[in-house]
Every structure is written in structure tokens, then in C-alpha cells.
A = this chain, B = another copy of it.
Amino acid sequence: MEMYLPILFVVSLLFSYSHSSVLDFCVADLSMPDGPAGYSCKKPANVTVNDFVYSALAITGNTSNFIKAAVTPAFADQFPGVNGLGLSMARIDLAVDGVVPIHTHPGGSEILFVVEGTICAGFISSSANTVYFRTLYKGDVMVFPQGLLHFQFNSGNTSALAIVGFNSPSPGVQITDFALFGNNLPSALVEKVTFLDHAQVKKLKAVFGGTG
């Protein structure tokens, strides 16, 4: 059987790198600084299958809140295994009347699968300012192009669940209301760049926890 040994030698030339090569994957080492392409890689010797599995999306999001909705992300910051792989996921739970307010993902496109319930979803194009929205039923898939304003809300009589995929490990999310009313952007400035009335801005600043 020693005639078979040489192949191992040959193959080992290809595989036995003297350095910690991670050409296949790059599990994020969150203790290192981030870079433009993502986090540095955990040493392959320390990587286990559990680095590639994430279980937090198994838990129904808590929708006992104002929007009656919850979004649970599995982005690189939560799930280091997606770092460098160019994708990520999230789950969206919508109680009856629940809504994911209008928002964008600055870093990626989104594809949504309705696991259960009925969801009305839509987006607005930038080129022609056209609105595309429709009711989705269990099993329907819908896409939302990168960076465009979009929304989802429960348009049925039961709670709804959707699983969404992104083509980035860190697609980001910018909820318009939160960006305008949930920080210290001065009210006068909000009004100037949105044309919203003062009272409206103040009211939503109170709702979303903003100051100024």
C-alpha cells in the first residue's frame, strides 16, 4: 500500500501551507480592527463547525412594541461566519398590524421569503420615483434593490414571519424615522432638509428618542 503514499505527498504540497491560509473562508476575529473588506480572519486552526452555524434566528422576535415588529439580524457582527462570504440573513417577525418602517440597506440588496402570514411590501425606485408594492403570501419571494427605500407590514390577520437574505455580510440598515428623529440632529435642521413641520418633528423626536 505504500505505493499510495506519494499522492499524499503531492497533495500535501498543495495543502500543507506553512502559514495560516484561509482562502476558503474568513471567520471574523471581532477582536481585531475592521477593514474595508471586512474583519480579519480567525486562525483556521481555531475554527470549528460552530463558527458557521448561528442559532439566534430560531427565536421569535419580541413584537410587543410600538411597531409590533422585530428584526433579528445575522450580519457579520452577530454571526462572524459570514465575514468575507458576501452574504447574510435576518428574520422579520410581524405581529398583526406590525410594520417595518421605511428604510434602506446602504450596503446590499435584499431578497425576502414569506415563511408564514401575509405581508404587504414595496420599494420606490430612484430613477423614475416609481412605487412597486404588492401583497405577498406564504412562499412568495420579493427582491428589494440595494439602497432603495422599502417597507414591509403585516396585511393579514395572523402574525407573519419572513426570512431575508442579503448580498453582503454587513448590509446595514437605515430606518428613515430613526435617522431623522432618533439622534441629536437639531430639529431646525431636520425641518430644513425635510420640509416637515416643526410640530411634526418634535412629536416624532419624542417617539424615537431624539434630542435637539
Contacts and interface: CB of A to CB of B under 8 A. Distances in A.
13 contacts: A10-B62, A10-B65, A10-B71, A13-B73, A17-B127, A21-B170, A23-B107, A24-B107, A48-B132, A104-B106, A104-B147, A146-B147, A165-B165
A158 interface: no
Given A67-B7, A69-B10, A142-B52, A35 B37 contact: yes
Interface residues of A, number: 151
Contact of A49 (B18, B65, B122): B122
Nearest to A106: B147
Interface string A95-118: 000010110111111110101000
B200 A197 contact: yes
A30 B25 contact: no
A70 interface: yes
Given A10-B70, A14-B173, A58-B140, A111 B134 contact: no
Nearest to A81: B143
Given A36-B38, A38-B35, A101-B194, A127 B55 contact: no
Contacts of A5: 65-66
Contact of A111 (B70, B88, B113, B173): B88
B37 A111 contact: no
A37 B41 CA distance: 10
A87 interface: yes
Given A89-B111, A194-B177, A77 B19 contact: yes
By Cβ-Cβ distance, the 3 closest A-B pairs, closest first, are A58-B139, A106-B147, A6-B65
A188 B149 CA distance: 17
Interface in A155-212: 163, 165-168, 170-180, 182-185, 189, 192-197, 200, 203-204, 206-209
